[in-house]
Amino acid sequence: MKEALYLQVKNVIAKRIKDGVWKANMAIPTEVELIEEFQVSRTTIRQAISLLVQEGVLEKRQGKGTFVKSHELIEQLGHLTGFAEESIKRGFKPGSRLIKWEIKENLMYEKSLLNRLKEEEKILVIERVRFMDHIPVAVERTYWPEEIGNIHLKEDLNTVNYYEVLEKNEILLKKAKQQISAVNASVYDAELLGIEPGTALLEMTRVSYGIDGKPIEYAKTRYRTDYYKYNITLKR
């Protein structure tokens, strides 16, 4: 079955905004211009635009035109992003530094979360500090089943983007369950982040699942809240 015309148009427009061809606060072409470009009726153009308005990507102003909304408003619940993607979206340069990695045999709690309790498999633990523009913003501890860990160990752990590597190896993530809490910074955390021990940190605990529904990663990250907060848009 072919995709509806108005959805095709919608996707092209959405892509241009995502790629920065049409930037925030700029007017997109008028309806008449879009009719000519896509060779479709005005109804179809308006249907496509109307969807993007509903999603908060575009905004119409009568008599003036249709405008791209600033990025902050686009963020939606339901998108799975890593730290790097998140930083860039906020205008910071993401970075990281490896603290240590180990292969462990007896992490029963983590193995149970990864659903590998019965297996012989070992767990790779990687600990890194994450940066935004040279400012240490988070301490990240990720736990990987050995078979997947071995893929990461071929990379430079200081710079590796885990999700890109997984994607390159055709291991695709489908969903993640995330739990958000708050903790007081330990002396160890505080030293890595350059803050006072006891400072309240945002703690994000995540289990990511592959297309087959099997857990792939368990991660626990503690963020400084002066540089990172978590934004969600809830809809009815």
Partner DNA sequence: AAGTGGTCTAGACCACTTG
CA neighbours within 13 Å on the CB side: how many for 100?
4
Do β-strands 94-104 and 123-132 pair in parallel, antiparallel, or remain unpaired? antiparallel
User: Counting contacts by CB under 8 A, is residue 14 touching a second copy?
Assistant: no
Please report how close the Cβ of residue 28 comes to DNA at its closest, in angstroms.
Answer: 7
Residues 39-98 that bind a second copy (CB under 8 A): 43, 54, 56, 74-80
In whole angstroms, give the CA distance from residue 125 to residue 173. Answer: 19
Q: Between the CA of residue 146 and those of 43, 109, 111, what are the distances in Å?
A: 54, 16, 11
CB of 4 to DNA, least distance (A): 4
Cα–Cα separations (whole angstroms), residue 190 to 35, 124, 200, 215, 226 = 57, 24, 10, 30, 14
Binding of a second copy by 225 (CB under 8 A): yes
Contact flags string 179-208 toward a second copy, x per CB under 8 A: xxxxxx-------------xxxxxx-----
Residue 91 sits in the site that holds DNA (CB under 7 A): no
Q: Which residues contact 73 (CB under 8 A, 6 or more apart)?
A: 56
Between residues 31 and 203, which has the closer beta carbon with respect to a second copy?
Answer: 203
C-beta of 64 vs 79, nearer to a second copy: 79
Rounded least distance, CB 45 to DNA, Å? 8
Q: Does 4 bind DNA (CB under 7 A)?
A: yes
Q: Taking the complex as a whole, how short is the minimal distance between the CB of residue 111 and DNA, in angstroms?
A: 24
